[in-house]
Structure formats: structure tokens, C-alpha cells
Amino acid sequence: QVQLRESGGGSVPAGGSLRLSCVASGHTYSGDCMGWFRQAPGEELEGIATIDRNGLTTYPEFVKGRFTISRDNAKNTLYLHIKSLKPEDTAMYYCAAGFFRRFCRFDDYETRQGTWGQGTQVTVSS
């Protein structure tokens, strides 16, 4: 069974840091495009980081410099390092693979395809 399982979320004060992890099982994702997404209450899902098989990354402007996506293919694990957290970063964070339509980009995804994890909650207090 193909699964993605996120961990590492929690409640942190503004300015803090977190490292989210996403462990894959049932499939080797080393050659796949993978990404992180988030959804705040009452808001739409938004892409926040992607990484392709060559390590090329994409981010929206509002997270550049604060969010870093990386992968450890030997561990079949995807990471998201977040620093300088803001209250507006509060959301459920999801990892996914096989989600893109044409390009491995944060803004080119289809939620009805690929494999998605169950999410990990990040709450940032002011």
C-alpha cells in the first residue's frame, strides 16, 4: 500500500522554526516530483514547495527565504524546514507525490491525482 505520512508539526511561537517530515512507504519516490501544500481554516489549499528528481525546487514568493524543501532518497523521506514562523503560517501541512499536471511546480497541481498524506498541523502563536 502506497502511503505518505507527515510528522513534525506542533504549536510554536512566532519567530520559531520547525522541520516537517514525510515518510513514504510502499513506493520509492526518488525519481518523482514531490511537494508540500497547506490549507488554513476557511482557505483553499495552496502549494508551498516542490522538488523534482534532480533537486530543482520551486516556491511561491511569500515563503522564499523561510521555507526549504529537501529530500533524502536513501530514507525515502521528504522534509520541509520552516524558519521565522508567522501566525499566518498556521495551517494543516500536506506532502504529496504525483500531483503535477505538466511541471513540477508549486502552482501546477491536481488534488485528484497522485498520493497525498493525511497532514500535520502547524499552529503559530503571536
Residue type, 122: V
Which residues touch 27 (CB under 8 Å, ≥6 apart)? 2, 97, 115
Q: pLDDT of the chain along its 126 residues, tens only?
A: 789 999 999 999 999 999 999 999 988 887 789 999 999 999 999 999 999 999 999 999 999 899 999 999 999 999 999 999 999 999 999 999 989 889 999 999 999 999 999 999 999 999
pLDDT of residue 1: 76
Angle at 103 between CA 96 and CA 38, to 5 degrees: 35
pLDDT of residue 9: 97
